Amino acid sequence: MSTSTKRTPLLWPLVLMAGGVALLLDNFWLVDLDLAPYWPVLLVLVGLLILVRGDIAPSWGAHTFGITRGSVESAAIEIESGEIDVQLQALRKSGRLIAGQYTARSRPGLAVRNNRARLTMHRGQTWWLSLADWDVGLAHDLPWEILMSSHLGRLDADLRGIQVERAYIASGLGDVSVACPARCRGELVARSSFGDVRVSVPSRSTAVVRVQTGPFGRVRADAECYAKIAPGVYATGAHPDQDAEGLQTHPDLTITAATVFGTVHLS
């Protein structure tokens, strides 16, 4: 594994320098200087830091990393991000198993057995003030099992170009967006309790989507792409191989999209 730390942002050094200058003036030149009324300035500076950098932590809060593929022939990844947003996509270059950006102490754990790799990234190992997004790229030339979960963060999984065996992507309060691969051996699940769920299927792929919504959930399906073939079941395109209930027997994608209070978008 190779890692590197991002360059220190200018805001923190400027804050420290300004604070030091103010204390020097208070101690040696301006005896009556009262700094207490100016403490809200710290809130403004922290807000600017989050707006510009997306993180409160110092530079060690976000690192880039890369793990070479070696002899790995298949892999599984488990991501638990808490309140951190995650973006996942395929790596363009060959030779690496995984690469991207993570926050302090959440460096991917790696275990390899019988040419199968298991990777884990957990929010619980990260300093609580570190809010930098996780950017994860996966090797495109080997099959993956994918598990992504969060209780507040947004999950954006672009699975196009990735060989997916099965995937489960779920958030409690955040939105979930999934761009599906051309095919998936197992089921692909996209779920959010309070957020929206967006699922897009490649134009040439056949898919059966089972939608599960609570009493306040809604469904918005692109009429040009999907046909409602049963209550809560949508299918793409023409399906010559169908069972007695009208469901396609061998679709390229079998998808479950679920929300309780949000909206399921199918495109």
pLDDT, tens digit, 9 for 90 and up, residues 111-154: 999 999 999 988 766 666 666 788 899 999 999 999 999 988 89
SS3 134: strand
Q: Strand (E) positions, 81-133?
A: 86-90, 96-103, 109-113, 116-122
Q: What pLDDT does 7 receive?
A: 44
Distance, in Å, from the CA atom of 136 to the CA atom of 102, rounded to the nearest integer, reads 8
Q: What pLDDT does 200 receive?
A: 95
Q: What pLDDT does 80 receive?
A: 92
| Regions of the chain short of the pLDDT cut 70 | 1-62, 103-107, 124-131, 237-249
Token reading at 144: 């993956």
Q: Contact at 8 Å (CB) between 236 and 205?
A: yes
Cα dist. 168→40, 148, 164 in Å? 43, 6, 11
Q: What pLDDT does 102 receive?
A: 76
The pTM of this model reads: 0.75
Note the residue count of the chain: 267
Q: What pLDDT does 14 receive?
A: 60
Q: Strand (E) positions, the chain?
A: 2-5, 62-68, 74-80, 86-90, 96-103, 109-113, 116-122, 134-138, 143-150, 155-158, 163-171, 176-179, 187-192, 197-200, 207-213, 218-221, 226-230, 233-236, 253-259, 263-266
Distance, in Å, from the CA atom of 235 to the CA atom of 53, rounded to the nearest integer, reads 42
Nearest Cα residue to 94 out of 136, 143, 164, 142: 142
Task: Identify residue 248 by its one-letter amino acid code.
Answer: Q
Q: What pLDDT does 59 receive?
A: 44
Nearest Cα residue to 103 out of 65, 75, 76, 69: 65
